[in-house]
Structure 1
Amino acid sequence: MHVGQHVARVRQLWQSRHALVAIPLVLIAAITVADIRTPETIHLGPLLVVAPAITTAFAGYRLTALIGALAVGGQSLIAVFQSGFNEDHIAQLIGLTILSIFAVVVCFVRDRRTEELAQVRSVAEAAQRALLRPLPDRLGPLHIASSYLAAEKEACIGGDLYAVARTGSRTRVIIGDVRGKGLAAIEEAVTLLGAFQEAAHQHATLPALADALNRSVFRHLTQFPETDEEAQEHFITALLVEIPDHSPVARLTLCGHPPPLLLRRGQVTSLASPHPAPPLGMVELGPDIHTVRTFSFQAGDTLLLYTDGVLEARDSNRAFYPLEQRAALWTKASPKTLVQHVQQDVLAHANGALGDDAALLALQRTTAPHTRLHISDPADDDGLHGRAHEGPEQVKR
């Protein structure tokens, strides 16, 4: 939000509050005048308590205290113009004073909690920026856009993660989803992101990178106490993507994560792997079995990466969100527009209530690489819909 827009918003809020203050002031004046002009047998003074009561809905404790004092002053004015401070007027003054003090206390406690919540959210937003650093719009030959939707309305961070790293003339990307919620999930996400930023520059292939991340996550998870019954259920699904600058291809390794979507010339293709590996951190399942899949990725193509929170968004009929079908509506959109459309569509599908955090990441190649390298098109029989490419394009460890 621009500074001018922020100032205008604050000014509008200030003006609206000033307009609302007129309501209790008018009530105090009207009730006071009406009680003075009516016979002494009719007592309207107790209605003055309405003024400080409604002020608590839109004002702080200082303004509420001022309105309460004016209400007490109005009650005193009524007593002066009538029969003086008799027992009824004194009782009404005491009651009005007590209720006004109570309203001020309520506002004070509410304002303190509001300030504490604002501080907590500020810290959470700072942690969000530290955990999920804003991705650049451009990186090498790629145009990038991302989005993070927290399941909890007041939350800013969770167990979903994504990051990019430049290693020489290629870009490596990770998107993942930590099993579980809360601080433990955030801690595991931080561990994986730190390991990725370091290991991405040290390993020549995606399987080697996946193996290193798998061991790092496993070492972190073994720190759980043995008495933790859920310790063995902790893992992280992840998807690794590598896009070289000078070849019209991209490579991916799946570790228990939903496959990405390739958007090309009005078509959407799911890049499901025939040999997916288990999630990271599950070393006890056996030796490293990570594979790499190479596919055509040309200028204008877009890769849409996501976490399962997108697929698991349900509507009022408990139907899952049809991402592949909906993404086909925006195959010609820029990454930023694509992410915005999917984000809004997911929220509309789920009526604004997601069951899990959801992350989106769109990558579009913007320039044609200068190379003679050729690879089969996704529409070919042995392309993305068929078996994994063999030979130099299929690496298994």
Structure 2
Amino acid sequence: MPGLFGGRGADQPWLPRWARRLKITGYALVLMCVVADFAVGTRVTFAPVLAALPVLASAGTRRAAVPAAAGAVACAVLVALASYDVDVPAVVLATAAGTIVATTFFSCAGVMVLAAQERELTKVHTVAEAAQRALLRLVPRRLGPLVMAVRYVAAEAEARIGGDLYEAVPTSYGVRLIIGDVRGKGLAAVETAADVLGVFREAARAEPELAEVAKRLDAALARRSAREDFVTAVLVGVPDAPGLAAVVNCGHPPPLICHAGKCREVIPAVAAPPLGLRGLVDRDYRACPVTFVSGDLMLLYTDGVAEARDAANRFYPLTARVSALRTEDPEALLEDLLADVRTYVGSDLEDDAALLAIRRE
């Protein structure tokens, strides 16, 4: 019975296997107590244990009728025990009956409150998903000379959006891309990410030089004087003509370029500050030309992947692991890479992660 034993019914999600086993064990213990009641004679009763039935039935269900039905069953069994345990004081049986009624009431109330909370949470998720679609729009499979794939993984199971960001826009200067990570978390980080993406979408089409796009983003963040926001980011420009691409690294983990099964990091000649912090250091943003020919794949990522750790607290060896994966198809690469990271960590990621893979056709 799905409602009793915690399988999947129309009203409830799956219970974990350990929870289903624990629930079945509870029913078995109640049954053993009922059998023992009949076995030990008419002077001893285990009737109060029947109050556990509605509590057990409420675990995993979202319908108040399930614990109510379990309470009715418990009352019926109590009547049978009362007719047998003739030497048990009536006050004991009356107390057992009151306990069953009380636990049934509170179990039903708990299920109703939980169901109402989940309905509200579903509404919040719907709004969050709409916000994500507006903020982090899906990139097309093909854009100009590129085949692309993107993945966004939230560290929290209930989360939908966070401070990681990405975008790819076609311009008269070629395809321009950004991936970044906002300092901090929560709604403030989402607001900052929205501002950065809005400025990038306009500046990427207006500025002929990629470094100038980075300066526009930095200036937009610097104007938010009331907030100490900054964003680590990588900007990439891929012209239609094959041969070279441009990379501006603003304090972000370096992208990887894979060619013929070998991957290398794109390390800037001069380190540049994160977006929003250029005014604090005497350094400017510079575009680094990199070879990016037909068949090459570039992987952009955030530190949720680069700083993933195993049980021994060792960082995920991204370059070596990506080199061992197939890089012909960006979609397949990201699927294999995320599976490999989770296997390495032994659990879900502890930080949000965004990945953007592009391959020049």
TM-score by length of 2: 0.84
In structure 2, the partner of 1:192 is 196
SS of 1:14's equivalent in the other structure is coil
RMSD across aligned positions (CA): 3.1
The one of 157, 160, 171 equivalent to 1:156 is 160
- Alignment correspondent of 2:304: 309
Secondary structure of the residue aligned to 1:215 is helix
What is the aligned partner in structure 2 of residue 76 from structure 1? 79
TM-score (norm 1): 0.77
The question of whether the paired residues in 2 share the 8 Å contact of 1:238 and 1:255 is answered with yes
Structure 2 Cα separation of the partners of residues 130 and 238 of structure 1: 20
Cα distance in 1, alignment partners of residues 193 and 81 from structure 2: 66
Q: Which whole-Å deviations, capped at 9, do the CAs of 1:16-62 have from their partners, x for residues lacking one?
A: 98xx8999999989977886797422324333223212112232322
| Paired position in structure 2 for 1:133 | 137
Q: How many Å separate the matches in 1 of 2:119 and 2:10? A: 21
Matched residue, 2:124: 120
Which of 3, 8, 12 matches 1:13?
A: 8
Whole-angstrom distance in 1 between the partners of 2:32 and 2:265: 69
Counterparts of 2:30 and 2:343, CA distance in 1: 45
Distance 1:296 1:126, change over 3 A: same
2:232 to 225, 229, 237: 237
For 2:28 and 2:166, locate their aligned partners in 1 and report how far apart those are by CA, in whole Å: 56
Consecutive unaligned residues in structure 2, runs of 5 or more: 1-6, 13-19
Instruction: Name the structure 2 match of 1:210.
Output: 214
Q: 2:71 is aligned with what amino acid?
A: G
For 1:116 and 1:82, the matched residues in 2 are separated by 48
Letter in 2 for 1:222: S
Question: For residues 259 and 37 of structure 1, what CA distance do their matches in structure 2 show?
Answer: 73
Q: Which secondary structure does the structure 2 equivalent of 1:148 belong to?
A: strand
For 1:1-397, list aligned pairs within 5 A: 13-14=8-9, 39-60=41-62, 61-79=64-82, 83=86, 86-168=90-172, 170-219=174-223, 221-224=224-227, 231=228, 234-285=229-280, 289-366=284-361
Structure 1 runs, 4 residues or longer, greater than 6 Å off? 20-34
- Per the alignment, do residues 27 and 270 of structure 1 end up closer, same or farther by CA in structure 2, a change over 3 Å counting? closer
Structure 1, residues 202-252: CA drift from partner, whole Å, max 9, x if none? 111101211111111111x3133xxxxxx3xx3111111111123332111
User: Could you say what secondary structure the match of 2:321 adopts?
Assistant: helix
1:160-215 Cα offsets, whole Å, 9 max, x none, are 11001111361110011111222221111111011111111111110121111111
Alpha-carbon distance in 2 for matches of 1:160, 1:342: 18
What do residues 330-350 of structure 1 show as CA deviations (whole Å, max 9, x unaligned)? 254310111112212222222
Number of positions where the alignment pairs a residue of Structure 1 with one of Structure 2: 345
